Amino acid sequence: LPPFDPADPLGLDDLLDAEDLAIRDTVRSWAARRVLPHVAEWYERGELPEIRELARELGGIGVLGMSLDGYGCAGATAVQYGLACLELEAADSGIRSLVSVQGSLAMYAIHRFGSEEQKREWLPRMAAGEVIGCFGLTEPDHGSDPASMRTYAKRDGSDWVLTGRKMWITNGSVAGVAVVWARTDEGIRGFVVPTDSPGFSAPEIRHKWSLRASVTSELVMDDVRLPADAVLPAVTGLKGPLSCLSHARYGIVWGAMGAARACFEAAVDYAKTREQFGRPIGGFQLTQAKLADMAVELHKGILLAHHLGRRMDAGRLRAEQVSFGKLNNVREAIEICRTARTVLGANGISLEYPVMRHATNLESVLTYEGTVEMHQLVLGKAFTGLDAFR
């Protein structure tokens, strides 16, 4: 029998092939070199100062729009994309958010619903990290219920004129292109908006106590005039943004386990060296119970993510199954991080250690891409056939 591996107690690496492992190693070592040495300082400052360089480097290692085909994208499997999300979020949820929004929301929308010209214009530069994208769905008064959005695009001759406000938009202030969802006379449509369009601005939202190493912005659109071909031609209705969100949520199912892994590892290291009452705290039964429970949820969550990834690769992943994964993995990840925090005692609240940063980041992850309650309602409806949303 192979020996027990504390990093992979269930032997889940057996599910990965050589290419999967190589991609994971590349992303892990990039994050160790480029993010981990700086992220506590970025977090404390509430800034991601090197975001443009980081985006280009992320493009260089092939993780932007990673699971899309053509147009400079890597054409990786869903499992490989998931492994990348896990490694990035083990460094910080903010970096994984940058990649999720770029690839699974902005690029995915253009790739799936865009015209050939839109794809050629934007995707290669976005895959390379030369242009950052954002995705504007949420509004100040409409979050979980985007169908009620107020942002409106009306026709003026062959042009469109876009007016409204979006809120809590990741990458907004640094984006070169925004995919904005708006109400029209034909239903909800997506628009590809160059952010230098007159009437468009994206002030940054400050004073966040979560995802501090991530740019979050308002989008203000004041009669933004767009040409006829700015609309995403291939979709009308909420199924457009919802299918993008399903793709991004899938990445979060893996990513959340990265934050959890970082906290678990910090807790084990600490428990082995910190001594109280004359011996390492890891030798106390109560600490061991915490570590065992954390490890069980961590590796169950990775197994679930892998299962969903294989279904996605086989074209058999349903939105309800993504909700299942997002609900479980983010909820368990935050529990793991909070438990790790208790193992570290007072040091658990310090930025010298990663656990409080991860735990507070996951408060955002718990809310965005569908709150816990929304995913419970999705599953509740799937099991009962009864819609409890309204």
Which residue numbers are catalytic?
A: 369
Assigned token pair, 214: 């991530």
- Positions 193 through 232 that interact with ligand FAD (CB under 6 A): 211, 216
| Sequence-ordered list of residues with C-beta below 8 angstroms from that of 4, at least 6 positions apart, any chain | none
Beta carbons within 10 angstroms of residue 117's beta carbon: 10
Binding mask 135-174 for ligand FAD (x = CB under 6 A): xxxx----xx-----------------------xxx----
For residue 317, count other CB atoms closer than 10 A to its CB: 20
Specify the residue, 124 or 380, whose C-beta has the smaller distance to ligand FAD: 380
Strands 133-136 and 177-184: parallel
The closest of 249, 252, 247, 253 to 304, measured between CA atoms, is: 253
Q: In the range 361-380, which residues lie near ligand FAD by CB under 6 A?
A: 364, 367-368, 371, 373-374
Residues 6+ apart with CB under 8 A from 188: 147, 149, 181, 182, 236, 237, 238, 240, 241
Nearer to ligand FAD, 251 or 282 (CB): 251
Query: Nearest distance from residue 100's CB to ligand FAD, in Å?
Result: 9
Q: Which residues pair with 201 in a beta bridge?
A: 220
Give 57 or 373: the residue with its C-beta nearer to ligand FAD.
Answer: 373
Q: Please state the closest distance from residue 136 (CB atom) to ligand FAD, in A.
A: 6
User: Does 353 help bind ligand FAD (rule: CB under 6 A)?
Assistant: no
Q: How many residues bind ligand FAD (CB under 6 A)?
A: 19
Residues in contact with ligand FAD, shown as a per-residue x/- string from 78 to 107 under the rule CB under 6 A: -----------------------x------
Q: Which residue is nearest to ligand FAD (CB)?
A: 143
DSSP string, 100-165: HIIIIIIIHHHHHH--HHHHHHHHHHHHTTSS-EEEE--BTTBSS-GGG---EEEEETTEEEEEEE
Closest to ligand FAD by CB, 79 or 167: 167
Contact residues toward ligand FAD (CB under 6 A) are 101, 135-138, 143-144, 168-170, 211, 216, 364, 367-368, 371, 373-374, 389
